[in-house]
Structure 1
């Protein structure tokens, strides 16, 4: 879920944004007032001020979460989660993730990529239906909701600032989700260790000397 956007792309996106268009509309209203003789000698400040007010008050563009494929059959469920994770990555890359949330977002991305790795890792995860459920819930519900709520809330915070910022909530949510996925990884690791210990015990029992029949 890495984020990438160049200055030129951001500038173009701003020119096409609702915020810029609303500011231009308010600035145009200021020009109408100037030509109507209502602004006086301070007309440049009136036009700039109206543009700024419109740009600040306009709701920002919000990137909607992707539409996921949803649950599949038991055998193909992890493949479906992996495909939805690819869509989730594209969604997050298009967002402007705050600096406070960059580290937990990167940790969460790494955990999901590791747990959904095709091959023997996926086989181990698939053996635990609860682990598959947690991964699917994180990819399809929890992470998209965290970023979508952040996009919605950060604009309202400008009008009604509160004690907890939208950035703080997003960071905390991603940290909690990373902790949950770390628990899944630990459970898979413990299952592998148990299997290894069981096989060691089995081989040791075979190596123990057996008493010949009819003795004792």
Structure 2
């Protein structure tokens, strides 16, 4: 019983919100304005005894020609804000990695990878160039938040099982392969940013040369 009353109250509130929204809508405002014109025409004798029909017709016409209500799209953080979040995630990743033990070969490759990430995220013009490439930011964010932690975690878990049942390719070898793939991906991101800067320089050179000829 209480549930039914609560549901009825919620439905009543929702209906009230919809009615209020329509009252404040452009369609109602435009229709009301046209309806006022209809009342004026009725007072002037236009339409005779059918003046209510004229008012209703003008209201409906005004409501139909009014532009629809625009629902504002959701706002999301811009790329620069996202980069700040990625930078904070990278700090947490480094804290995590400082607590884990890795074999020398994988540890060396991971250190190279972390240095490359740090250089890309270092506040300044490099990070500005990175922020201008949403795809690069996405790739870096995915690697920092998902790929690197998963590589290290699965290595430690698989190594424990391998001690119980030896055989197959070693967890160390898999970890090295994974980190090599991530490093190659980071180098591609870096190369893409370098090419963008090179295109920018070439564009400016072309502009200056054309300006000089003119």
TM-score by length of 1: 0.62
Q: Which runs of 5+ in 2 are unaligned?
A: 1-75
How far, CA to CA, are the matches of 1:130 and 1:174 in structure 2? Answer: 20
Determine the structure 1 residue equivalent to 2:120.
115
Q: Distance in 2 between matches of 1:199 and 1:177?
A: 34
Aligned match of 1:138: 143
2:173 to 149, 168, 188: 168
Residue 163 (structure 1) shift? 2.2
Name stretches of at least 5 consecutive residues in structure 1 with no aligned partner. 1-71, 211-216
Bigger RCO (CA 8 Å, 6+ sep): 1
How far the C-alpha of 1:119 sits from its partner, in A, is 1.3
The aligned residue for residue 201 of structure 2 is 196
Q: Larger radius of gyration, structure 1 or 2? A: 2
For residue 77 of structure 2, the aligned residue among 73, 90, 94 is 73
2:157 corresponds to which of 148, 152, 157: 152
1:73 positional shift: 1.4
> Which of 95, 116, 129 in structure 1 is aligned with 2:100?
95
Over the aligned positions, Cα root-mean-square deviation in angstroms equals 1.0
Higher helix share: 2
Residue 48 of structure 1 aligns with which residue?
A: none
Distance in 1 separating the partners of 2:153 and 2:83: 24
Deviating 4+ runs (over 4 angstroms): none
| In structure 1, C-alpha distance between the alignment counterparts of 2:175 and 2:189, rounded to whole Å | 21
Of 183, 186, 189, which residue of structure 2 is paired with 1:181? 186
In structure 1, the residue corresponding to 2:122 is in which secondary structure?
coil
The count of corresponding residues between Structure 1 and Structure 2 is 138
